[in-house]
Amino acid sequence: MRTGGGVTLGACSAVAHVALALPVAAALLLPALRQAAETAVRRLAALERRRVVALLDGAGGSTEPAPDRALRYLAARIPVGLLGGAVLALLGLGLAFAVTLVFSWVTQTPWMLERDPGTVISGGAIAYYAVPGAVLLYLALAGAAGVARWDRALLARLLTPSREERLAQRVEELARTRDAVVAAVDDERRRIERDLHDGVQQRLVALGMLLGRARRHPDRAEELVAQAHDEARHALVELRDVSWRVYPAALDTGGLAAALESVAERAPLPVRIRCDLPAEPPATVRAAAWFLISEAVTNAAKHSGALRVDVEVTVVDGRLRVAVRDDGRGGADPGGGGLAGLARRVAAADGVLTVDSPPGGPTVVTAELPCA
């Protein structure tokens, strides 16, 4: 049924493309209309790609093909669509022929296609037409399947980028990834500097002042040294927190699941972790996933008013999929500083980050990272 629907839609679109061929060709020759014509051609090619992928199990092809490639594809598939329409028309005529024959035989009424109005189809006539009818039905179905294969082949051949285009796309992707790495490193440096300046550095300054006062006031030395000891202990705790936020040792010793347990323990709200991994991902992927989850949980606790966070980590088609969902108020801005930093960190690992946060919630932060 899906193949028949795909071939039928292809036949209809081929007829429409024949009707649009002259207007589009004329528009391409006019500078004022050329851009609009190229946009229309690309959209038509994208629609054809969706039809072939959804109904004919096609694969490949670019969602944003170049205008010249899209035009070649549309021109090449016109005969394919018309052939599919012809096959379906013959199949429909054959089925109508068979239905009228069987109806005349079952009801013993005159066959509407017989010249002699009194002729009734007999069982012998049904048997006579059955064999060639079955052969023609097979040929029609095989023809429809062939048209579907032709459609898939055209999509893969004409809309798939060439080797040079793929290399150019990869170079652009690597350039973007490099920029994302540099930006992520800068963000990390600023965050570490901020954590050290606002926490550990202040503690150490206070510690130095207390020790200085203890030297100047020997009579209060015991009290001031005790206060200095407390400050040193707090500074050590904050320094451990900073180092944990940079890179937790549990990532190397216990793996991603163990590191995520520490995230749940340190979070100020309930966090449920579901980490189902057949094997540990590479170190860079583990670090990116941990950083994403840690920051997403922190953002949910600080800004969303959430009461609970659910974290799910799975592997789908060789890619690590991370989903962080909170029940907060929603309305998070993907272009904001925090989420933009997460996107850069994920992009630095060749991953993709998506944020779904409608007003009223929930907010779902999803990332896919390549494991290979």
pLDDT tens digits for 224-256? 778 777 777 777 766 666 655 666 777 777 788
Strand ranges for 258-316 from DSSP E: 271-275, 309-316
Is 276 a residue whose pLDDT tops 60? yes
Residues 365 and 303 sit within 8 Å (Cβ to Cβ): no
Give the whole-angstrom CA distance, residue 302 versus residue 334.
Answer: 16
Q: What is the pLDDT of residues 175-229, one digit of tens each?
A: 776 776 666 666 667 766 776 677 667 777 777 787 787 788 777 777 777 877 7
**pLDDT above 70 coverage of the chain, percent:** 86
| Range from 109-123, 154-168, 265-279 carrying the lowest mean pLDDT | 109-123
Which of 138, 157, 141, 151 has its CA nearest to residue 61?
Answer: 157
Domain segments of the chain: what residues? 2-161, 177-246, 254-370
| Range from 72-76, 111-115, 137-141, 210-214 carrying the lowest mean pLDDT | 111-115
CA distances from 214 to 203, 229, 236 (A): 16, 12, 21
Average pLDDT over residues 264-286: 84
CA angle 192, 195, 197 (to 5 degrees): 105
Superfamily of the domain at 254-370: Histidine kinase-like ATPase, C-terminal domain (3.30.565.10)
Hey, which residues does 295 pair with through a beta bridge? none
Is 366 a residue whose pLDDT tops 70? yes
Q: What is the DSSP string of 95-107?
A: HHHHHHHHHHHHH
Give the whole-angstrom CA distance, residue 312 versus residue 305.
Answer: 20
